[in-house]
Structure 1
Amino acid sequence: MKNYIKFKEKGFTLIELLVVIAIIGLLSTLMAVALNLARQGGRDAKRVADMKQVATALAFYFDQNGAYPAGTETLGEVGAECLDASGFGALCTNPYMATIPKDPSNSFWYEYQSTANSHYLLEFVIETGAGSLETSGIYELRVDGSIYGPF
């Protein structure tokens, strides 16, 4: 009489492996989406902080010159890289702001507009919402420090 030894096969079935792979794929997708939203939120917070820094530099400019720089400028671009007593420029001596910040994504812009010497607008884009700015769009920071938008 022959002796047969039964071996119980150890391992996972194909269905179990597919379920695990699907769960890992779903979790990685959710993580990628959450990470992207966090990055957008971080860029939005930086945009608001940048605009407040520019507004502070413009307040110093106004205190010493009695008016805001006239015109429209795309901030951080050629010709509007710093702010001194002569306004926005490429090279500044004794600057109020040595380096004007650029949008962190390089996909959008910061824009300065002044039609009257006592008023200005700083325009910037919000991607997802930051703090009290809950929706995406173009916002304006005005001379009184208030933020309006989206437009």
Structure 2
Amino acid sequence: MNFSFRNNHGYTLIEMLVVIFILGVLSTIMVVSLRNAREKAMIAKVSVELNQIFNALLIMEDDTKQWPGHKVPYRVELATGNEICDDGCAYSLSDCRAGLLCDDPGTPYQRWDGPYLKGAPSDPWGNEYFFDTDYNIDGDMYAVIGSYGPDGTGNNEYNSDDILFELAK
């Protein structure tokens, strides 16, 4: 009897499809995990930068006895209007009226010895940080420094992706 065995050196189509399917599932899991890790890293970066801004604000307060916008430290001050506005309800940190980068040209701060920051940092989503003395969180007013988060929107009122450093309530 003469038996002939074929020596297969390849894979069947089914085996190849199973391997491709498994690789697809693994790569999907990896991409989702990396996206979540990246988002957490961005939020951690904001927390570190807000802490640095807070330290700069404390040094400015020690020199001038005021917060940005000539506000009284540790006091919530209601202002008219929303967002970045002329009467000081919220300040971008790059605005000289905030006093952290440059002295207020309109009303100079007494004993200003800045700049207190090297530059106005932007959050990881490209938005400027802000200082606000009447930030509304669920009906309570706070003095905060913060980021409007990934969506970049804020209207003097908290939304779920805002990242804040509370200064006073």
TM-score by length of 2: 0.61
Higher strand share: 1
Partner of 1:73: 91
Partner of 1:55: 54
Partner of 1:24: 23
Report the CA distance between 1:4 and its aligned residue: 7.6
What is the RMSD of the two structures over their aligned residues, measured on CA atoms?
A: 3.1
Partner of 2:123: 103
> Match for 2:92: what amino acid?
T
Cα deviation per residue 1:72-131 (whole Å; 9 max; x = unaligned)? 22335x76898246259xxxx84111112101122x44221136xxx841122456xxxx
Q: Does the C-alpha gap of structure 1 residues 58 and 24 become closer, same or farther in structure 2, counting only changes over 3 Å?
A: same
Aligned length: 126
Secondary structure in 1 matching 2:100: strand
> Match for 1:97: what amino acid?
L
Secondary structure in 2 matching 1:114: strand
Partner of 2:147: 124
The answer for unaligned runs of 5 or more in structure 2 is 70-87, 106-112, 135-141, 151-159
Report the CA distance between 1:141 and its aligned residue: 1.4
Report the CA distance between 1:48 and its aligned residue: 0.7
Q: Does the C-alpha gap of structure 1 residues 84 and 125 become closer, same or farther in structure 2, counting only changes over 3 Å?
A: closer
Secondary structure in 2 matching 1:8: coil
The answer for unaligned runs of 5 or more in structure 1 is 128-135, 147-151
Q: In 2, distance between residues paired with 1:65 and 1:79?
A: 14
> Match for 1:36: what amino acid?
R
> Match for 1:122: what amino acid?
I
